[in-house]
Structure 1
């Protein structure tokens, strides 16, 4: 018998470490979120057989006091993705004008909003791009026209801050921030399973908000 989440009865809880034959984090996860994650990952691979996946976190500015009013509403994350996609498409346009070979790249996304013990929300993010268009983050400790810089600039745009003030609010994990998924590679089943396991963390139910009329999870429409 399926177990429903006590704070959101629309969500089915699984905690056995498995989902459709794939290994997932062994903690309470949403089956609905896992389904959306799997569909997004499969859609990315169907369009781009060589897909570049990036995992990073976005933090909201630290409030000066606990009872500070909400400064950023739920539109901040959609503003971020819209800005990042605009920068990616502009990059494609500029390279085309320079006579370079341009590979189209559809941006697909997964995000989860959490708070835990902090005073402000943070977002766990995964983006999927065409590996033939983007295949590295670049040095995210320096300025430049690389993908990591575009991510920082897009978050700055969403927050209404300058790039310098925003840089410390974007965190790229030291442990495997990127995944290279190649559907024609011999190790594809293993890399796909590894990527899905990493993404399953975004489906965890603890530290998410329910009952405040805001979304805690989202992904691209297939």
Structure 2
């Protein structure tokens, strides 16, 4: 929904915990670049702006480089008993390996016709009812080159599974790819200068930014992270 007046500021409040604080959106609307986006906030779990805003900055940077951007996500699990410090390092190495492999002339998936030098990604760490930590990982790629994430055996999805199995010593069941549902699509295409194409992605990704399940260890282990293409993109 386009704003008819000057862009309203996004209202938020701070939530304090034993190891610091984080900003939480007030209500269920986010104001971003003259447009109003609905977010997936509930009475039991608000949306953390410190998680959602860096994601939007990365998606903005992607549409600066590409007129159409493919967005999808997947979930990562880890073997029982894995310390958070170790699993966080695995996720960091996954992002690094994806950047190396997708940008390679020879080692990228066969379905990708040319190296991808610029793409965005990010992750959040959660533990709710599950005994062990798990990770939600999103990835944004040029739609010209990627129109499907693939699966455990092919495409970008196959590359993700290959890397994650090597890092964890586990099997492909530790990776779960997004599926379409009545609430979300399995992937989205974001178009430059068409802010309405961000509506679905913002609502979808705001679920990743929910307060619930974000455990702080007090040992400096990160709860979320993103790539950094927005920091080097010319505005």
Counterpart in 2 of 1:17?
A: 28
Deviation at residue 15 of structure 1 after TM alignment? 4.2
Which residue among 202, 216, 223 is the counterpart of 1:216?
223
The number of equivalent residue pairs is 203
2:88 aligned counterpart, secondary structure: coil
**Within the alignment, does 1:4 sit opposite 2:9 as a pair?**
no
Query: What's the C-alpha RMSD, in Å, of the aligned pairs?
Result: 2.5
Q: Distance in 2 between matches of 1:2 and 1:122?
A: 27
TM-score (norm 2): 0.77
Q: Distance in 2 between matches of 1:183 and 1:111?
A: 23
Q: 1:190 to 1:108 in 2, by over 3 A?
A: same
The structure where helix makes up a greater share of residues is 1
Deviation at residue 208 of structure 1 after TM alignment? 0.5
Show structure 1 runs of 5+ residues with no match.
none
Q: 1:43 to 1:117 in 2, by over 3 A?
A: same
**Within the alignment, does 1:74 sit opposite 2:88 as a pair?**
yes
Q: Assess if the C-alpha contact under 8 Å between 1:23 and 1:193 holds in 2.
A: yes
TM-score (norm 1): 0.81
Counterpart in 1 of 2:98?
A: 84
**Within the alignment, does 1:57 sit opposite 2:75 as a pair?**
yes
After TM superposition, the structure 1 = structure 2 runs for residues 113-124 of structure 1, keeping only pairs within 5 Å, are: 113-124=125-136
Highest RCO, 1 vs 2 (Cα 8 Å, sep ≥ 6): 1
Q: Distance in 2 between matches of 1:23 and 1:12?
A: 17
